[in-house]
Amino acid sequence: MNDLCHLLRLSRPWRLRMAMGVLLSVIVILSNVALLALSGWFITSMALAGVGSLALEFFTPAAAIRGLAVLRTFARYVERLVTHDATLRLLSVLRVWFYQQLAPLAPARLQDFRDGDVLARLRSDIDSLDNFYLRILTPAIAGLISAMIIVAVICWFSPSVALIDAAVLLLAGVVVPVMVASMTKTSGHQVAHVRSSAVAASTDLIRGLGELQMVGAVSHQTDHLRQLSQQLIGAQRQQAWMSAIGGSLCALVGQLGMFAAFVLLFRHGHAGGITLSEIVMLLFTVLASTEAVAGLPGAFAALGTTREAARRLFSMTELSPAIVLPESSPMPESSDLTFTSVTMRYAPETPVVLDQLSFTVPAGHCLAILGPSGAGKTTILNLVQGFWDTTEGDVLIGGHPVRDLSDETLRQMISVVSQKTYLFNASIRDNLRLVSPEADDATLWDALTRAALADEIRGFPQGLDTLAGELGVRLSGGQARRIAIARAYLSHAPIVLLDEPTEGLDAVNTELVLNCLKELIKGKTTLLVTHQIQPLSLAESRLQLDLK
């Protein structure tokens, strides 16, 4: 319930739209009930008038029936428009909010999560929350308001029938949905978890297809994905069955309620001052009143999934960042880097990665950091970027401790070229503008020229509008690496971090990238991490690290 209350607080900006959706839902329910009740009264009155038992003014009720039919149709259309608009707006706000909450956690606190799991929370879990407003909150509130109005109207004619209808609505709107929610709680949790595992497995299969083919494990991974899919289908089937059973029970309760009202109203001497037309009207009202709560069993069948999706989202956003940077800070006047007696371990129980490390990189100098895997090379780059804080000692940029610099300042001070270039499935123009949103095409072409990529991009039929593809799949490894170099030119950052910049490239692309990097790092403070010999030509000095 805490997670659902948290979700309600996040939806406050759209509370007027949500309230409008509830109001329209009430109008739809009441117009449906009134249409059926009035139709029953009208047909009965017409029959009685036909045998001479009743004098009936025809035009007013006929017009009312037509008006209710039009109102029901119009209100249903507007209600769907408003509720779906509010839901989609809420989901868009949730995605932005969730991403903003994740940003301070990356990469330190997210490294224990699989990429596919984070993706599932960002997409599938947030999508699951559309049930909360669209299928749970709105129908429940609208059902409660409508039920109270219906019972009050029936009570005007017959308190006994109103009591029967109240019992019907209590059973169909509370008891049955709660029972369905209880019986689907386990399957709801299973849907959320298995769906996340399936997304992660799909991600592993797609991204690691080459490696899986090399070791002959593609069939094993596809079998695993197939098993997860069958588990997901089984859990969803159970929810569907329980939703159908709940809906059937609601319909049955409505029929039993109408039968009980029928017996009561036609009992000898009970009808009293109630006319035959009004008796039929009351019976139809009792039968139609279950529409106010008819959608709740299906909604509550998905409550377990919705609640688990909310829990998974908020459990991640409640994590504390590894380092909390200030919101603003002055820009350092110099770009020199200094490590002063830095000791670093990632957790109290883990071994020391860096032990009393001290060195200085003067402004405009390139230092190559060498050493075996696990010696702490990547840790140095992470500390400079403010992803982690030191256990002891300080990392200084221009004399300012990194922990005292804001994230915005660090991003303006530092550009990174690594072996893995992150590209979105957007145009090359949009991927370049990530670091310089205001850059015009002339500026972009200048950066591409400096990165020795302009001629190749001009050779594409769509030029800068060429889509890079998911993870840059439409570009070669060398082209993606040079996109990263072009970004570094656009950022104008005085500090450059090179993390295995030529890893995985052939000889031709390695030479191209190194020539571009020589121009990029001129006059800039540079840290170079590499296992290869060729990039060492960029460095003016070297730092050798050993395993602790």
- Print the SS3 string covering 288-307: HHHHHHCCHHHHHHCHHHHH
Domain 2-317 and domain 337-544 have a common topology: no
Vertex 272: Cα angle to 267 and 275 (nearest 5): 95
Phi, psi angle pair for 424, to nearest 5°: -95, 160
Do residues 436 and 488 make contact, with C-beta atoms less than 8 angstroms apart? no
Per-residue pLDDT tens, the chain, 548 aa: give them: 676 777 777 777 777 888 898 899 999 999 999 999 988 888 888 887 777 666 667 788 888 889 989 988 999 899 889 888 888 888 888 888 888 888 888 887 877 777 667 777 777 778 777 777 777 888 888 889 999 999 999 998 888 889 999 999 999 988 998 898 888 888 888 888 888 788 878 877 877 777 788 888 888 889 988 998 999 899 889 888 988 898 899 889 989 999 998 888 877 544 557 778 888 898 999 999 988 888 888 888 878 888 888 888 888 888 888 888 888 888 999 999 999 999 999 888 888 999 999 999 999 999 999 988 888 998 999 999 999 999 999 999 999 999 999 988 999 999 998 888 888 888 989 989 988 888 888 999 999 998 888 888 888 888 888 888 877 778 888 888 888 899 999 998 999 999 988 888 888 888 888 888 998 999 999 999 988 888 899 999 999 998 76
Interatomic CA distance for residues 451 and 516, integer angstroms: 5
| Topology of the domain covering 337-544 | Rossmann fold (3.40.50)
Interatomic CA distance for residues 100 and 317, integer angstroms: 9
What are the Cα distances from residue 109, in Å, to 114, 322, 340?
A: 12, 7, 25
How confident is the model at residue 52, as a pLDDT?
A: 66
Do residues 352 and 344 make contact, with C-beta atoms less than 8 angstroms apart? yes
Assign 241 to helix, strand or coil: helix
Interatomic CA distance for residues 374 and 544, integer angstroms: 13
How confident is the model at residue 30, as a pLDDT?
A: 92
Do residues 379 and 354 make contact, with C-beta atoms less than 8 angstroms apart? yes
Q: Where are the domains of the chain?
A: 2-317, 337-544
Q: Per the structure block, which two tokens stand in for 360?
A: 């200085």
Largest CA distance in the chain: 111
Assign 372 to helix, strand or coil: coil
Interatomic CA distance for residues 250 and 311, integer angstroms: 30
Residue type at 423 in one-letter notation? L
* DSSP β-bridge partners for residue 416: 497
Q: Per the structure block, which two tokens stand in for 437?
A: 């949103």
How confident is the model at residue 269, as a pLDDT?
A: 43
Helix, strand counts (H, E) of the chain: 22, 9
Cis peptide before 13 (omega within 30 of 0): no
* DSSP β-bridge partners for residue 401: 396
Closest CA to 140 of 262, 12, 8, 51: 8
CATH number for the 2-317 domain, one of 3.30.360.10, 1.10.287.130, 3.40.630.30, 1.20.1560.10?
Answer: 1.20.1560.10
Residue type at 171 in one-letter notation? L
DSSP H/E element including 466: none
Residue type at 425 in one-letter notation? N
Closest CA to 243 of 309, 177, 175: 177
